[in-house]
Structure 1
């Protein structure tokens, strides 16, 4: 028999992880990333240091761990294979950004603080590049790029990489704008600038 308590445990684990991460990002923003220890984060979150390490094995993970790759992959899988690659990937990036930033103001401020830390902290910039590659691989996997012939797989990788370059530019602009501009709109503009005005459709079906 399947464990009926598994969903509850998973939800509690996600809540604990979120609480720890929120306190960590707040402390990093207030005190500085290098000046804040894992023990400081544990004390602020009201948990033991062992609990922090169980959820976040490294200090960098406190900032960088998120669900972005999963959200993007899910949307690509759900999209029509008849659409151009750029539109499938771009729409997934736009929709996932809208979901992540469309919640309460507190969540939006948290995401903005995380992004600023990634941009301004040298140790996090290096790990952020790893996340970038992980997101690219999640996109390729969602499009079955690895199972295709080498030329097709290469094409998928190139398009995914170009889309993520546009995403990065939009994220930096969002941080510079202090989150005042809608992130999903910035991503759409960046994709249109890179691939042309017909590369992305808005939700009403009109080109951006």
Structure 2
């Protein structure tokens, strides 16, 4: 029974987070990031400003918070050891991009968030923290492939290069209003860095 209550609380918490973020991103896109306050977001979401801050400690988090790190880490862990680092990391980035754009609503939401990140100086600066957190999630998911200092160094170098390619793909995707599929653009950016061998994208 306790586990059921815990699961229900987590679902409600996740739903509240999604509702708050959806209203925040909509308002930022309509009114401008700087012109929209946390109180505005709280009123639109039907919650108190304190509830907003409980779920999103900073205003920037209302745009930047996402599940990307978890998705990438899960796919890296599922790929198992033995594969080249670039294939494990790059493949996870391509697959997570496909998951994040699986339906039109999710795709448009991600596009709007990316446009805000690109156009808002405060979000561009905070985005570096997100990249570091994603890097750490990748290293953690690699397990034995990053278990000792030398392996961790190689993993960090590979992950950093893959994330730079991903960033280039995301910016291009947003600038093109999503005309190309994000997984294909990500694979293309990775191939520009590593060549065609390490990974290829099937479909879109």
Which structure: greater helix fraction?
2
- 2:140 — aligned with what? 141
Quote the residue 2:152 is aligned against: 153
Match of 1:8 in 2: 8
Go from structure 1 to structure 2 and tell me whether the alpha carbon gap of 1:111 and 1:55 turns closer, same or farther (over 3 Å shift). same
Shift of 1:16: 0.8
Q: CA deviation at 1:202?
A: 3.2
RMSD across aligned C-alpha pairs, in angstroms? 1.5
Is residue 116 of structure 2 the alignment partner of residue 117 of structure 1? yes
- Over 3 Å counting, the alpha-carbon distance change for 1:49 and 1:69 in structure 2 is same
Is the Cα–Cα contact under 8 Å of residues 169 and 186 in structure 2 kept in the other structure? Answer: yes
Q: Deviations over 1:67-120 (max 9, x none)?
A: 1001100110110312111000011001111001012x2221111010111111
TM-score (norm 2): 0.95
Unaligned runs of 5+ in 2: none
Q: What is the match of residue 58 of structure 1?
A: 58
Write out aligned runs for 1:1-208 (5 A): 2-103=2-103, 105-144=104-143, 148-203=147-202
Q: Distance in 1 between matches of 2:114 and 2:69?
A: 16
CA distance in 2, matches of 1:116, 1:202: 25
Give the whole-Å Cα distance in 1 for the aligned partners of 2:132 and 2:171.
18
Q: What residue ranges of structure 1 are gaps of 5+ in the alignment?
A: none
Q: How many equivalent pairs are there? A: 203
Deviations 1:2-33 (A, max 9, x none): 43211111111111100110110011111111
- TM-score by length of structure 1 reads 0.93
Shift of 1:49: 1.4
The secondary structure found in structure 2 opposite 1:4 is: helix
| Alpha-carbon separation, structure 2, partners of 1:94 and 1:3 | 34
